[in-house]
Chain A
Amino acid sequence: MEWRHKHLFDIDDWSREDIESVLNLASEFERRLDSKESLPSLKGRTLVNFFLESSTRTRVSFEIAAKLLGINVMNWATASSSMAVKGESLKDTVWTLESMGVDMIVIRSSWVGAPQYIARKARRARVINAGDGTHAHPTQALLDIYTAWKRFGSLEGKRVLIAGDIVQSRVARSDIIGFKKMGAYVFVSGPRNMVPLHLDALGVSYEPDFIKAVKEADVIYLLRVQKERWKASAIPSDYEYHMNFGCREEVLKEAKPEAIVMHPGPINRGVELSSEVADGPQSLILEQVRNGVMVRTALLYLYLGGER
Chain B
Amino acid sequence: MIILKGVKLFDGERLREGLYDLLIEGRIVKRIVPTGNMNMFEGAKVIDLSGKIACPGFIDIHVHLREPGGEWREEIKSGALAGAYGGFTTIVAMPNTNPPIDSPELVRFVKLTGERAKGAKVLPAGSVSKGREGKELTEMARMVKEGAVLFTEDGSPTVRTDLLRSAMLYAKDLGVRIMEHPEDPYLSENGQINEGKVSAISGLKGIPATSELIDVERCIALSRELDVPIHITHVSTALAIRAIRKAKEEGVKVTCDVTPHHLTLDESKILESGYDSVYKVRPPLRSLEDVEALWDALRNGVIDAIATDHAPYHIDEKDLPFEEAPSGIASLECAVAVVLDAWEKRNRPVSLDRLLRLFTSGPSRVLPESYRSLGYLREGGFADITVIDLDKVSRVDVSTWKSKARLTPWNGLSLKGWPILTMVEGEIINDI
Contact = CB atoms under 8 A, between A and B. Distances in A.
Interface of A: 9, 89-91, 109-114, 116-117, 119-120, 133-136, 167-170, 173, 196-202, 231-232
Nearest to B316: A89
Given A112-B323, A200-B197, 9 more contacts: A89-B316, A111-B322, A112-B204, A117-B320, A196-B199, A197-B195, A197-B206, A201-B197, A201-B198
A134 B197 CA distance: 15
Contacts of A116: 274-275, 321
Contact of A90 (B202, B274, B320): B320
A286 B190 CA distance: 35
A110 B321 CA distance: 10
A200 B197 CA distance: 8
Interface majority SS (helix, strand, loop, mixed), chain B: loop
Contacts of B277: 117
Nearest to B287: A198
B233 interface: no
A133 B190 contact: no
B208 to A, nearest CB: 8
Contact of B321 (A113, A198, A232): A113
A202 B275 contact: no
B200 A198 contact: yes
Given A134-B205, A196-B199, A197-B200, A113 B323 contact: yes
8 contacts: A89-B320, A111-B321, A117-B320, A197-B195, A197-B206, A198-B197, A201-B196, A201-B197
A109 B321 contact: yes
A111 to B, nearest CB: 4
A247 B190 CA distance: 31
Contact of A117 (B189, B206, B321): B321
Given A90-B321, A113-B274, A196 B200 contact: yes
B203 interface: yes
Given A116-B274, A231-B189, A135 B319 contact: no
A117 B196 contact: no
Contacts of B276: 120
Contact of A135 (B190, B203, B316): B203
Contacts of B432: none
Contacts of A201: 196-198, 200-201
A170 B203 contact: yes
Nearest to B198: A201
Nearest to A107: B321
Interface in B179-224: 186, 189-190, 192, 195-206, 208
Contacts of A167: 203
Name, among B186, B199, B201, B206, the residue most crowded by chain A CB atoms within 10 Å (CB to CB).
Answer: B201
B327 to A, nearest CB: 14
A135 B204 contact: yes
A91 B318 CA distance: 12
B324 A173 contact: no
Contacts of B199: 196, 198
B320 to A, nearest CB: 7
Contacts of B192: 112
Name, among A112, A119, A202, the residue most crowded by chain B CB atoms within 10 Å (CB to CB).
Answer: A112
A111 B323 contact: yes
Q: Which 6 A-B pairs have the closest CB atoms?
A: A113-B275, A134-B203, A116-B274, A201-B197, A196-B200, A111-B323
B319 A91 contact: yes
A32 B269 CA distance: 45
